[in-house]
Amino acid sequence: MALTSLDVVTEADLERELEWVRRKAADARAGLFGPTSVTWRVDREAVVFLGAGRALLLQLAHPWVAAAIAQHSRSLADPIGRFHRTFAYVLTMVFGTLGQALAAARALHRRHALISGVLPECAGRFPAGSPYRANDVAALRWVHATLLDSALIAYQLLRPPLSDEEREQYYVESRVLAALFGIPQSAVPQSWAGFADYVAEMVGSDILAVSGPARRIAAELFSGAGTGWRTPRWYRALTARQMPLPLRQDFGLSYGPSDHRTAERGLAVLRCIQSFMPAALRYVGPYHEADARMAARTRPGFVTKALNRFWIGQTSMPFADREADGWT
């Protein structure tokens, strides 16, 4: 099921998927998932950030993604800005109103529509000069998979594991997020088992190959370049621990006994901190904003605004339309 040929999501394709999403949404104010969803329960946790490094490396392992970032992104010059932009889109899709989620999907598609090029070097099965487009179905599907898989792995590092039924529901809900990327439902595995098979197939295939640009980007970002601080050793070790072995080796990530002890010590400290951390700090800002919206508290409080600034670089989720989305 690993797609490799260019099959670009057009604006019409996206609108067709968004219409499917709109029909599934029962409450415009709650958005696409709502308070009872497994998606809100998992994605509200700040610990999901522990999987961000893994998700990024898995994305960079796709030569199209690595080339697009190297040639079109300001990630190396402004890594914090990229962090904010990425989380602003994804967390608005998850915790925003229906209108906000759809607007975020359209904005992301427009941004991706500007990104295309050719591979600068041979990588895996792709020869130098192979074309790529950011709105390609195969690339989008892989990016979506890395976000979903990494979030769940990170969540279960510190939170109780999901039951089989909850995990299946989490995956079913994630298909809505895939539609916001414009990925047709026919291109998405139908079950968690199918999804796990897809990820394993991709990791074992020559579609993923750590190119020169991928290594350079990863080295720069994990050095803390552009942020003013160096990535903690425990975070690098924890990221290496979560990576599939072949890709861990291809990125040159060490994970020996010393690294394992470092990762375990980091997790032990985080478990201790989380045991007494209040919900106000344990959850990401956009979740607090959504919780306030559902309780008809129309103005985010100081803590929510501060957390939003940390997670998405602004005091509230973008694309708000209070009247159209049912705010009071």
Number of domains in the chain: 1
Domain annotation covers residue 93: yes
Domain annotation covers residue 132: yes
Domain annotation covers residue 151: yes
Residue 121 confidence (pLDDT) above 90? yes
Domain annotation covers residue 167: yes
Domain annotation covers residue 6: no
Helix residue spans in 119-211 (DSSP H): 137-158, 164-180, 192-203
**278, burial (CB in 10 Å: exposed 0-12, middle 13-18, buried 19+):** exposed
Q: What is the pLDDT of residues 246-289, one digit of tens each?
A: 999 999 999 999 999 999 999 999 999 998 999 889 999 999 99
Quick one: average pLDDT of 119-126? 94
Whether the CB-CB separation of 17 and 220 falls below 8 Å is answered with no
Where are the strands (E) in the chain, listed by range? 116-118, 131-133
Domain annotation covers residue 163: yes
Q: What is the rounded average pLDDT for all residues in the chain? A: 92
Domain annotation covers residue 296: yes
Determine the pLDDT at residue 79.
79
Domain that holds residue 18: 11-312
Q: What is the pLDDT of residues 161-214, one digit of tens each?
A: 999 999 999 999 999 999 999 999 999 999 999 999 999 999 999 999 999 999
Domain annotation covers residue 265: yes
pTM of the predicted structure, to 2 decimals: 0.93
Residue 13 confidence (pLDDT) above 90? yes
Handedness of CA 203, 152, 15, 106 (dihedral sign): negative
